[in-house]
Amino acid sequence: MSNKSVSDPVHGLIRLGQMESELLATSAMQRLHGVHQLGLAYMVYPGAKYTRHAHSIGAYHNATKLMAALKNNLGQTAFEKFAPQSHVQNCSVIALMHDIGHYPFSHATEHVIKDYFSSNTSGNGILVSSSQNSQARSGSIEGGINHEKMGAYIISRDPEVAGVLKKYGLDPEEVARCFRGKNPDFKLLGVISSDLDCDRLDYLRRTAHNSGAPYGSIDVEFLIEQATFDRDGNFCFKDKAARAADHLLISRFYDYMQVPYNKTAVAIEWSLHECLKEAFRQKRIKPSGDAMRSLVDNGEWPSFDDQHVMSIFRKMTEDAEPRSVLHDHLRAIQRREPAKLVATWDTLRFRRDTKFSGEPVISDDVKDTYSAHVKVRDQLSTIVKTIADQCGLDPKRLNAWDAKVSFMKDGQELDNTSQSEPEYYAEGVHLFDAVSRNAGRIGARQDMLIGTLKHKYMSAVRLYYLPHSSERGEMDAIYENIGKCLRNAMPRPTWAAA
């Protein structure tokens, strides 16, 4: 059947097979036109409004090019030894549908669902509250499910999607199994799930193009051309790609700090979190796994997008007390009146990573480990009420926000993963060693900048205040009063409003 093509601002002309064209036409994939990749970041970067639909097509394009490079570098016989045609087809459709299970506002909503049901999990991506945990293990009560498990459910249960897959001879259940990384023979997992996969290779360039942030100037085409398998069929890149991979990983770190973790973007996302939690509490949105799956079963999932949730927020605004904290959070995300940054304690710190032989031992001094981050975060969280009392502020308007941002997954994230498990190679970045013909971790390379920086992370701790509209002209005085409390109780901030 004839191929179709899409004109893309990042990759140019992208050619689609007939099966991929029909998958894109399903309601579940068309829904992604209404889900912004970067949530509400467009309120800070007006051009950053691209959707998960556009990104999905870009990821598919990268996946097809990565598989073409694998075949070219290995030869058809060696390539087919590790990647039979059925796996190639599975990889192609998974790349296209990898974001099909994302909630409105993408990761922000998923994080709120996780917090809503607590951080306890029953396995397989099911998030449950601690009080429900024992029952959840038996499957009688469950909380929310992450977007990967949601995506696998859609692939296997949505009649449109499953119908297209079956039409072209693919088993929806097997596609869903590969989608979740549950097939140990699926050697193409690294193409769709790794630190340099088809998803991330599109994300960085697309975000740079749409936001104006300059961190997408990376040699993606050269990287893709160096894709290969080692002698055991583990996805990796030729050694000549080392510098380009090093550059991309570092660029991605700065992209994260500049776009998703921009001070105003974080403030707006805090308000989004608070509004979502209240929508859950008021039962305007039901976040349980059963409720989400029922949207798929009832054919309502395609309408569950960003605008659907924003319409709920508009109704909540009509019902909220005008001077309430909730009302101001709702205004923050509808009229761009976000919380104000008061002070930051953003610091590059060491993380413990001493388990790999042949690598330098990193200091276990408490100031150079994750415990330092936790100490500053807990210290700030503890004094929030004191600040509110001394300054006459509502403690619900103060937010002690924190995040730990690593340069890559290499290191501690792979400590407990055996090299025999597919996740070990799928999660990290590996380079082909022409002598041993095995793939080695880029983080173990002492000639790579990332080899040193993988031991570090950004410890980001910030204090925000959400003023009422009547207070926005008095922020200098509020900054000064809060600053006095901080000077007596906290380490010196890296930045402060006063």
Q: Is 49 exposed, middle or buried (0-12, 13-18, 19+ CB in 10 A)?
A: middle
**CA angle, 264 then 268 then 270, to 5°:** 115
- What pLDDT shows up at residue 364? 42
Return the pLDDT at 444.
81
pLDDT at 129 over 90: no
Question: Over 50: is that where the pLDDT of 250 sits?
Answer: yes
* Structure token digits, residue 248: 């991309």
Q: Where on the phi/psi map is residue 403: left (φ > 0), alpha (ψ -120 to 50), or beta? A: beta
Backbone angles phi, psi at 138, to 5 degrees: -90, -5
DSSP letter assigned to residue 238: -
**490 neighbors 347 (Cβ within 8 angstroms):** no
Asked if pLDDT for residue 2 goes beyond 80, the answer is no
- Angstrom CA distances, 294 to 290, 291, 301, stand at 6, 5, 8
Q: Do the bridges between strand 347-350 and strand 456-465 make them parallel or antiparallel, or are there none, so unpaired?
A: antiparallel
Selection from 438, 68, 59, 414 nearest residue 229 by Cα: 438
pLDDT at 134 over 50: no
pTM, entire model: 0.90
Amino acid, res. 392: G
Of 107 and 124, the structure prediction assigns the larger pLDDT to 107
**Quick check: 422 pLDDT over 80?**
no
C-alpha 192/C-alpha 202 separation (Å) is 11
Of residues 447 and 408, the one with the higher pLDDT is: 447
| Ranges assigned E (strand) in 185-259 | 227-229, 235-237
pLDDT, tens digit, for every residue of 453-484? 887 889 999 999 999 988 999 999 999 999 99
Residue owning tokens 């290995």 = 74
- Mean pLDDT on 270-294: 96
Instruction: Report the C-alpha dihedral over residues 50, 52, 58, 59, rounded to 10 degrees.
Output: 140
Lowest mean pLDDT among 318-332, 371-385, 417-431: 417-431
The arithmetic mean of pLDDT across residues 397-412, rounded, is 83
Residue whose tokens read 């939690």: 277
**pLDDT at residue 321 is higher than 50:** yes
Contact 355, 418 (CB under 8 A): no
Tokens of 200: 């991330």
Min mean pLDDT across 70-79, 97-106, 270-279, 441-450 is at 441-450
Query: Nearest Cα to 340, choosing from 287, 401, 286, 297?
Result: 401
Specify the length of the chain in residues. 498
Contact between residue 240 and residue 230 where contact means Cβ atoms under 8 Å apart: no
Of 118 and 419, more confident: 118
Q: Residue 354 above 60 pLDDT?
A: no
**Does the structure show a pLDDT above 60 at 132?**
no
pLDDT, position 427: 64
Query: How far is it, in rounded angstroms, from Cα 145 to Cα 49?
Result: 26
Question: Could you count the other beta carbons within 10 Å of the beta carbon of residue 379?
Answer: 15
pLDDT beyond 70 at 412: no
Please, which pLDDT band fits residue 121 given cuts at 50, 70 and 90? very low
Dihedral sign of CA atoms 383, 386, 392, 397 in order: positive
- For residue range 432-449, what is the model confidence (pLDDT) as tens digits? 998 999 998 888 888 888
Judge whether residue 118 has pLDDT over 90.
Answer: no
What is the model's pLDDT at position 173? 97
* Residue 137 in this model has a pLDDT that exceeds 80: no
> Contact at 8 Å (CB) between 372 and 349?
yes
CA 76 to chain CA centroid, nearest Å: 34
Q: What is the percentage of the chain residues whose pLDDT exceeds 90?
A: 71
Nearby residues of 266 by Cβ (< 8 Å), 6 or more positions away: 401, 462, 464
What are the chain's domains?
Answer: 4-291 (1.10.3210.10), 339-498 (no CATH)
pLDDT class of 13 with cuts at 50, 70, 90 = very high
For position 167, what pLDDT does the model report? 97
Q: Is a pLDDT exceeding 50 seen at residue 184?
A: yes
Instruction: Describe the chain by its helix, strand, coil percentages, rounded to 5.
Output: 55, 10, 35
* Model confidence at 127: pLDDT above 70: no
Distances (CA, A) of 188 to 43, 234, 241, 322: 37, 8, 19, 54
Instruction: Compute the mean pLDDT over every residue in the chain, rounded to the nearest whole number.
Output: 88
Alpha helix ranges (H) inside 260-305: 263-281, 289-297
Element (H or E) spanning 112, and its range?
helix 107-116
Residue 37 has pLDDT above 50, yes or no: yes
Angle between helices 85-97 and 172-179 (to 10 degrees): 70
How confident is the model at residue 136, as a pLDDT? 34
- Regarding predicted confidence, which is higher, 126 or 423? 423
- Percent of the chain predicted with pLDDT > 70: 87
494: three-class secondary structure by DSSP: coil
